[in-house]
Structure 1
């Protein structure tokens, strides 16, 4: 169908009705006020702001976060991962709707994989969570991971804080399921849930030992499809967990069966999450873990910012293409390339 163009009043110019209207830039105060009021549109814009790599956006994002910090920290932060095809999105929709029906406000940070070749990402979680996406007490935010090692967006921590300031008391972080790199999600959540499929023998081969070591709970999903196989998988995972050293002296990770379709086990999973929180708080581990996460995040951010600052230097940018080419063709090794790049900075300081 041919699109009708509209004439702009007072001119001879025309515009398409689909033309994007440039949004007004919000002040820091307007963003803070909107987030605290639970305005979803402003919350989304605030998240976009903290995800941006533009220097001017970074400055405003930090101002926003500084003012919102007193209103953060009150949610249950739950990381959810699993092998491909385990049904993470289906589980999250069933689990999330259960929680909203009980009066909770649930934010879902669904981190999509970014293609290493094209840089694109799927960002399809809203279409896979039909009921939750229209739930007034839920908020779904898909964000590309940009190839970040931990399988989570580099600004997911700040996004969690923004959602907490907006009044969400449960934050679910769905990760890309990238195996051992998922250990990074444990550094920003209170509880780490690993979803697995029935068929323990095959599945134990498909999941890294490092993920099992940081799991607080293993849930065998789709248990309704083959209950006997699911029970066998549950026993296998329980045996595997007993061999591994738990991350806490006061919590022994366990396995259970769940079904996103029949909702079997969802109540039990939530009860275990609440029980874990109670034990961690009683033993003083909850506050200690959150403090440790802040410390780890400081160093993660420092490394990230140093690399960003370093690669933006003109002298470094001009040298990088040739060095990368030489590493690719084998004329120099990576260590030599790194030393040459660092010498650029050192020489620059000495010349001053």
Structure 2
């Protein structure tokens, strides 16, 4: 594979080259990893920056419908939109339906849009292992907005906040005890809460739900990266395409304020450090899966199972032998 040629085609905005680049960074093969690193390094200085928007929500809330309507609105404004949709995977086979592209029929046909479904596999937060690198490729390809759709709501979902500029939480009205429907960790991460399906018989319920969440948000501790009035709750109807322009205006208002105050660049710098440390941890874990460490670990695990040695002492021995470190006392 000619990495230089692939990089030039990605910079030229070729969607097929972008898809090939994402496939490369998602590959687990050692030779592909080397090429992926070379590709990312080649594109790192492109100077292109997209608005990275994370999106989460409970199953059935209408995330795909929202993304399609929202994406079509942005395309109509002349913007290029990339969607990185992460689908749930089978814990047994790692397989995934990858149905998001099918559900976003209109957006998938637009020349100004790019949709890439990926299996979540076992990675926490419903984010594919290399979603962060896929975002970098989409930015290099000249996309203005990158939407990262995650699997669903859970405490580990906060991982998406470490790769996005803004985090949207999509909720449905009439979901029972609404304020108990979402964990506090997600509430504290969200920048804007969107109550979807605010139409028809559910419109009044959606309005009440929005008021409930607006009140709950005011009780949360003030974050330094928020101007007055944020985070906030809004109502939208993805099916009828209502409230989307208001949501986009609020997203831009928040992003502009963060840029002016330095929070935008500061947050991206913090994220870069977070992912550097994550790569170090992943590299250390990878060493445990290779010989001779893998064999030594299996032997020590057998001794632990037999009660011949404690788990703490076995771990200490393994780390001291292969990493030159002992566990802290």
TM-score by length of 1: 0.85
8 Å contact kept, 2:94–2:119: no
Q: Does 1:161 align with 2:136?
A: yes
Higher relative contact order (CA 8 A, sep 6+): 2
**What is the root-mean-square deviation of aligned Cα atoms in Å?**
2.2
Counting only pairs closer than 5 Å after superposition, residues 273-284 of structure 1 correspond to structure 2 as 273-284=251-262
Asked if 1:261 corresponds to 2:239, the answer is: yes
Q: Distance in 2 between matches of 1:90 and 1:59?
A: 37
1:34: which partner in 2? 9
Alpha carbons 2:27, 2:33 under 8 Å: kept:
yes
* 8 Å CA contact 2:81, 2:146 repeated in 1: yes
Say if 2:290 is the partner of 1:316.
no
Give 1:292's aligned residue. 270
C-alpha separation in 1, matches of 2:96 and 2:296: 30
1:171-250 correspondence runs (5 A): 171-199=146-174, 201-225=176-200, 226-247=202-223, 248-250=225-227
What is the match of residue 306 of structure 1? 284
Give per-residue Cα distances to partners, 1:186-234, cap 9 Å, x unaligned: 1111110000111365232221100000110000001114111101100
Gaps of 5+ in 1: 1-25
Q: Is the 8 A contact 1:200 1:232 kept in 2?
A: no
Q: Which deviates further from its counterpart, 175-184 or 159-168? A: 175-184
Secondary structure in 2 aligned to 1:108?
strand
What is the distance in 2 between the residues matched to 1:135 and 1:334?
56
SS at 2:93 equivalent: coil
Preserved CA contact (<8 Å) 1:220 1:257: yes
2:60 partner SS: coil
Larger gyration radius, structure 1 or structure 2: 1
Separation in 2, partners of 1:323, 1:173: 41
Question: Structure 1's 282 and 37: CA in aligned 2 closer, same or farther, altered over 3 A?
Answer: same
> 1:95, 1:266 within 8 Å by CA — same for their partners in 2?
yes
- Name stretches of at least 5 consecutive residues in structure 2 with no aligned partner: none
Task: Report Cα offsets for 1:299-334 as digits up to 9, x if no partner.
Answer: 11111122113322x123224556667778988775
Q: How many residues align?
A: 322
Match of 1:69 among 34, 39, 44: 44
